[in-house]
Amino acid sequence: MLQVRNASVFFPARDGRTVHALDRASLDIDAGSIVVALGASGCGKSTLLNAIAGFLPLSEGAITLDGQPVEKPGADRGVVFQKDTLLPWKTVAENVALGLKFAGLPARRRRERAEELLGLVGLEDFADATPHELSGGMRQRVGIARALATDPKILLMDEPFGALDSLTREQMQELLIDVWARTGKRIFFITHSIEEALFLGTTVVVMSPRPGRITARFDLDFVRRFAADRDVRAVLSDPRFAELHDEIRNIVHRPSHEGRRGGQREGWLQ
Ligand SMILES: Nc1ncnc2c1ncn2[C@@H]1O[C@H](COP(=O)(O)OP(=O)(O)OP(=O)(O)O)[C@@H](O)[C@H]1O
């Protein structure tokens, strides 16, 4: 279990004031779940992810992974960003195996593991290609394979498909569901897209800005349905999908002061 408890992050702003980037966020990410954080720009999504990744210290609160405090980056958390961070002078397989090299695994084992993971993301034929030979979607696949290389307990994904065209994005969403179904990895995923959140999340948390707060939570089963029957149309044409889309849209677009007034969902996690 990954637990975030009353996590707050303050940044000093240029004008001498303090930016309250994350305000008492609490969240549980169980084994096998995909928790999606959704919200307008600046509501603290990346701050929350960076804190879970151990890139950023909390100002208040705590994060634990299977009972261990998260205080710095570690191989138990794999991270994928919107912009890929592949090393252009290394082959695809070498990029995937980078973390394993740091972990001291011998070259043959690294190669085997890289090939296994490239198979998982549908790039078995590209092990010896270099990143510049790949499309944006393929590079993100490599990023996912690389994040999985050390067999982390959780995958942290910060708008990983945000820069892709819509068709590639849909393919990547389906690929991610396959990876999730086959590896059982828990995933924390950030997006601006309500549709993407509804399609991928076993839980969707909606965040509001200034201060960055979790203001609503929805537990969903669209992704499990898709994983079972791979019928996109059945999911997208489910009336509940459209209802939730509207409901979340209203929350995302409501002025943040209303979100704090103590409606039914407000403060659900605190
Ligand atoms: N290092 C920093 N120094 C000062 N302010 C920061 C810093 N990092 C983030 N912030 C501020 O904290 C708030 C939350 O930022 P964050 O990047 O977490 O939001 P976000 O929801 O991920 O946004 P986006 O969707 O645009 O990526 C913003 O107001 C941002 O300007």
Distance 47 CA to ligand 1 centre (A): 6
pLDDT tens sequence across 27-65: 999 999 999 999 989 999 999 999 999 999 999 999 999
**What pLDDT is stored for residue 103 in this prediction?**
81
ipTM for the complex? 0.96
Distance 34 CA to ligand 1 centre (A): 23
**What pLDDT is stored for residue 13 in this prediction?**
84
| 11, 49, 83, 205, best to mutate for ligand 1 pocket (most atoms within 8 Å of CB) | 11
pLDDT band at 265 (very low <50, low <70, confident <90, very high): very low
Q: Give ligand 1 pocket residues (Cβ under 6 A).
A: 11, 19, 21, 39, 41-47, 212
Tell which atom from ligand 1 comes closest to the C-alpha of 47.
Answer: 18
Alpha carbon nearest to ligand 1 atom 11, residue: 21
pLDDT above 60 for 82: yes
**What pLDDT is stored for residue 256 in this prediction?**
59
Mean pLDDT of the chain: 91
- In SS3 terms, the chain reads as CEEEEEEEEEEECCCCCEEEEEEEEEEEECCCCEEEEEECCCCCHHHHHHHHHCCCCCCEEEEEECCEECCCCCCCEEEEECCCCCCCCCCHHHHHCHHHHHCCCCHHHHHHHHHHHHHHCCCHHHCCCCHHHCCHHHHHHHHHHHHHCCCCCEEEEECCCCCCCHHHHHHHHHHHHHHHHHHCCEEEEEECCHHHHHHHCCEEEEEECCCCEEEEEEECCHHHHHHHHCCHHHHHCCHHHHHHHHHHHHHHHCCHHHHCCCCCCCCCCC
pLDDT tens sequence across 117-174: 999 999 999 999 999 999 999 999 999 999 999 999 999 999 999 999 999 999 999 9
pLDDT above 90 for 7: yes
Q: Is the pTM of this model over 0.90?
A: yes
Alpha carbon nearest to ligand 1 atom 25, residue: 41
Distance 68 CA to ligand 1 centre (A): 26
Distance 48 CA to ligand 1 centre (A): 10
**What pLDDT is stored for residue 267 in this prediction?**
30
pLDDT band at 15 (very low <50, low <70, confident <90, very high): confident
pLDDT band at 268 (very low <50, low <70, confident <90, very high): very low
pLDDT tens sequence across 213-237: 999 999 999 999 999 999 999 999 9
pLDDT above 80 for 197: yes
pLDDT above 60 for 262: no
Tell which atom from ligand 1 comes closest to the C-alpha of 44.
Answer: 18
Alpha carbon nearest to ligand 1 atom 7, residue: 11
Q: Which of 35-44, 70-79, 178-187, 256-265 has the lowest mean pLDDT?
A: 256-265
